[in-house]
Amino acid sequence: MKKLISVSVAAAVAASVSFASSTDDLRAELEALKKEVAALKKQTKGLKAKKLKKQISELKSAALNDNIKWNVDFRTAYDVIGYKYSDGTSDWNQIMTNRLWLGMGYAPTSNITFKGLLSYYKAYGQMTNTFGANFNYFDWIVNETPNPNGELRVKEAYWLYFGDDFFGADIPWTASIGRRPATDGLLVNFRDDQNAKSPIGHIINTEFDGASFKFDLSNVTDVSGMYFKICLGRGMTNANIRYASITPAFIYGTANISQADLAISGTGAEYTKVDDVDHTDLAGFIFVPYDDGQYSVHTTAFKAFSLPGIKFTGYMDLNGNSSQDPTEPLAANFQQVGDLYGAAVSFLAQGIGDGISDMLDETNAFVSFAWSKTDPKSNTQMLGMYVDGNGDGVPETLLGADFGESKTGTSIYAGLNWPCQLIDDARVGVEYNHGSKYWRSFTYAEDTLAGSKLAARGDAYEIWFNKDLIGKILTAQVRYTYIDYKYTGSNGFFANAGTPLTIDEAEAMGMTTVDKAQDIRFYLRYRY
């Protein structure tokens, strides 16, 4: 018993000594901390709160605003494309493509921002036939067409200014100049699974450079979502390229070239006006009379000036010489032939009813009507041509519009899409459009490899299925597009090559053309 007491006393004494030692250590550490705090106070003495606030603000700016924010949109698609021709033959092919969009944004202040989008779009592997590839690089479609070399190009680049009021009126407004977000607009954005950009996709889906000015009228009119937007664009410039005036006066590969043959001619002037060419410009507006977030009405009207077309200049033999033989291929020039007026009105419901069912709450429905009218120069045909009807080598039979004759075309476009009831995080959509004989849209950049369905002079049907695999980070689509052409020239430009012939008329003239087109697409898409 005494032994146990002795052990307990010894343990208690040891604990007391240990505690005392720990307390001494803590006191020493506290004293050291006090000295450090005092030193810090001495160092920061006189440092004003305003200066600290400025430093914090600069740190926030560097961390949050003062740099470009990037995003990635990468799509791998597999398309099966099929054509049935007017002579009854058909043609099928499969193509795999990669499309990369690198988006960028920078907002140094609350009222101005910069937006940009770099684009890479290429078929898998080397394309075997690049003859005529210059149209792949045509400015209106260069980022919506798989290019042979897969260059990284600028799709969008513009600054956007936000104004709180317009000359004192309670009208928030914006101004923007640059390469415009003029593709993937309203209505077509549903099947493309992305937010709508500026134009109404029914009639305009074409890249261009220009400016826009938007005025929010909802405050002064008390009408929900009302706004008016002015749109200006340039599709072609009339300027020569650099060194265009320098012309070599010899033929490469010629033996024994004399000094005189090596001479080159040139004025030294750069970017001069191309003879007989004007700027191809567009001016128009978008007016939204009502938009409450569920139901909305969207209208647009424009005029496009000095539009280009393919004009036939006669026949050409295999040696490139002019010929009167109608069995020889046609020679053609790409030249400007006139103007075009266009307009559209679209009705959109993003949710049907109010609380009828979850599916109807998430259903989108739209119907749109569009109109176009040509305004040719007096000595040109915008949508017509004369042909040799009796084989004498003299064109005397009129097809389509005559010289200086205007023609009007119309189109309707309707669509419905809803949440898939069998598969979670998926949507199903069906769309239909019809274009009349002289219909002409500006949807050259529509991303359907078989041809723009919205440009079709005839009927087009489409069904699509979009599925979120990992949220919106990784998605998939299966889409089927079927186009039944009633007239030729749907995907062309203007002038003679835009002449609308029935499929039977074209075949009777020996012009084998596409009667029906199909595009079955599957893609995987990564966005972050």
CB 457 within 8 A of CB 439: yes
% of the chain exceeding 90 in pLDDT: 55
The pTM for the full model equals: 0.81
Per-residue pLDDT at 288 exceeds 60 = yes
State residue 326's pLDDT score. Answer: 58
CA atoms within 13 A on the CB side of 459: 3
What is the CATH code for 71-244+260-527? 2.40.160.10
In this prediction, residues 258-285 reach a mean pLDDT of 77
Number of CB atoms found within 10 A of residue 504's CB: 10
Burial call 31-63: b when 16+ CB within 10 Å, e when fewer:
eeeeeeeeeeeeeeeeeeeeeeeeeeeeeeeee
CA distances 1 to 4, 7, 9, 119, 419, Å, are: 5, 10, 13, 91, 84
Residue ranges covered by each domain of the chain: 71-244+260-527
Per-residue pLDDT at 28 exceeds 90 = no
Q: How confident is the model over 216-251, as pLDDT tens digits?
A: 999 999 999 999 999 999 988 888 888 777 766 554
Q: How confident is the model over 329-361, as pLDDT tens digits?
A: 666 677 889 999 999 999 999 999 988 999 999
Q: How confident is the model over 158-185, as pLDDT tens digits?
A: 999 999 999 989 999 999 999 999 999 9
